[in-house]
Amino acid sequence: MKGGLVLVLMAGVIAVYAQAPDVDPRFHTYGEVCDEVAALAESHPEICRVETLAYSTQDSVPIIGVIISDNVDEYEDESAILIVAGQHAREPLGTEASMWLINYLMENYGTDPRVTEWVDSFNIVFVPVDNPEGRNVVMEPGPEHTLWWRKNKHDNNGNGVFDTLYDGVDPNRNYDYRWEEYGGTDPGSEYYKGEHPWSEAESRLVRDLVDSLRPAVVMDLHSPDSVGGNKLWFCWYDSSAHSYHQGGFPHYYDVALQLAAHTETEVDGEYYVARPANNIKPKLQLWIYWYSGACAILMEITNKCFWHGDTIDTIAARVGRGITYMFDRMLEKGLIVRTYDSENDVPLRAEVIIDGVTDTTFPARLCGYNGRYHRLLYPGTYTVRVRYRGTEQVFENVEIVEGENTYLNVDFPGAAVRESNFEPPDIKIDLLPAQVEFWAPAGTAEIFDIVGRRVFSAQFEGKLVVNRGNFSPGVYFARLSAGKCLINKKFVVIK
């Protein structure tokens, strides 16, 4: 125990000298975040893993993820929660709340039954500093130091020099939801949205995490410059339709109210306020709800970016503790769909549609690569459709109740695509660079997208040619049925 104490004290001493003088040394520098989570992963290897998820846009600083779960080295059939902090360089309180929560989970796993249940039940993924190169501008002493940097360091004019008047992209305006119509075209602006959606490593990494994990809950942690804080924003108010979006608002309203009521501000006895977000900006929170349907919540921590003294610790603990409400909420009033192919013994990335909830004009709500879909819902009775490769299974009268989740186990036996080993010489699918060729004396050609929606179908004799250019970029499956022969082949369309 003594050795541990000495280590902690030494880290404190180093921090005082490593940091810009106008930043309270209680705040973690990016380097201190990396050292601390590496030490935690080493002392708790069963439940904590640290991974480099990407490298920052300009300086190639590693962007780390902290994954907390039982059997943390396996991608188990568990629901995911994603907690992102530090998209904005000068907003370090989200990082502090994340670090408090990571430590709290590590310290109490195995002794506190609530913590143990969360860690055993979920894949909990933290990105404690999404924009480390920007954070370094704020936290590190030196010629680049300024407290008020928000963006990353993208060298917009390509002159090889970091220029605060011209450089940097706001990672939280670089998502491909309503990007075209958003202003933010001036590189000198604090809200510069970048040259195109996904131009920044800091936003791409969140996109890829969401796409593979399909989290039920996403927290995006920020702080405002002066006012409008101690607030959390949930999904959403549709300002074009002048209405609350029915896929999110009715279900996430109570979640947001409860989270707010569980999160005390820096003022004793005062709590956060919940508001529906306006769906008008190319932001992480709005993109996630639009793209995946997850319960995405943006928290504005306190009313300013920087504090001094032990108020910093108080804020980190209160926000961290507040977020644990989301873990409890994920244990009840939710729909969990597990999709698999029992013949091939593999999970499937099926699409889930909840009638009256899922907006089918939005991208398909998919299971993660572990075959799991988890959606928080308002208690009630729902009809659920699960689709994979053109087959739909319908479940009526699915009850969502207080106190527990409702599970649907959905089997599509034999549905997973396997490359065919045997092809009769006159019946085949040829995948050529520009086209897909179907060959059979008489057959049916079909093409499905990644979630099994049939995007092409035709009967033919002899040979049928389909141009790949007819399809938008993505993964597709070609199927040829001819007599008793069925051939499936996977192909990819790239731009």
The reply to whether 135 sits near Zn ion by the rule CB under 5 A is no
**Piece of the chain touching Zn ion by CB under 5 A; list 87-95, 256-264, 275-283, 286-294:** 87-95
Q: Which is nearer to Zn ion, 130 or 446 (CB)?
A: 130
d(CA 231, CA 302): 8
The reply to whether 90 sits near Zn ion by the rule CB under 5 A is no
d(CA 289, CA 403): 25
CB of 156 to Zn ion, least distance (A): 20
The reply to whether 88 sits near Zn ion by the rule CB under 5 A is yes
Q: In this structure, what are the phi and psi dihedrals at residue 352, rounded to the nearest 5 degrees?
A: -120, 130
Between helix 132-139 and helix 30-43 the angle, nearest 10°, is 120
Pairing of strands 351-354, 380-388: antiparallel
d(CA 63, CA 56): 6
**Piece of the chain touching Zn ion by CB under 5 A; list 81-89, 350-358, 369-377, 472-480:** 81-89
Give residue number: closest CB to Zn ion: 222
CB of 222 to Zn ion, least distance (A): 3
Q: Which is nearer to Zn ion, 91 or 446 (CB)?
A: 91
Q: Which is nearer to Zn ion, 79 or 87 (CB)?
A: 87
Binding positions for Zn ion, 396-415, rule CB under 5 A: none
Binding positions for Zn ion, 3-62, rule CB under 5 A: none
d(CA 380, CA 363): 24
The reply to whether 389 sits near Zn ion by the rule CB under 5 A is no
The reply to whether 222 sits near Zn ion by the rule CB under 5 A is yes
d(CA 96, CA 33): 9
**Piece of the chain touching Zn ion by CB under 5 A; list 1-9, 86-94, 119-127, 392-400:** 86-94
Beta-strand ranges (E) seen in 342-404 are 346-347, 351-354, 372-376, 380-388, 391-400
**Piece of the chain touching Zn ion by CB under 5 A; list 4-12, 34-42, 50-58, 218-226:** 218-226
CB of 351 to Zn ion, least distance (A): 33
d(CA 366, CA 375): 11
Size of the site for Zn ion (CB under 5 A): 3
d(CA 62, CA 132): 8
Residue 369 gets which letter from DSSP?
T
Cβ proximity of 122 and 336 under 8 Å: no
CB of 135 to Zn ion, least distance (A): 12
Q: Which is nearer to Zn ion, 25 or 229 (CB)?
A: 229
CB of 87 to Zn ion, least distance (A): 6
Tokens read off for 33: 């975040």
Which residues form the interface with Zn ion (CB under 5 A)?
88, 91, 222
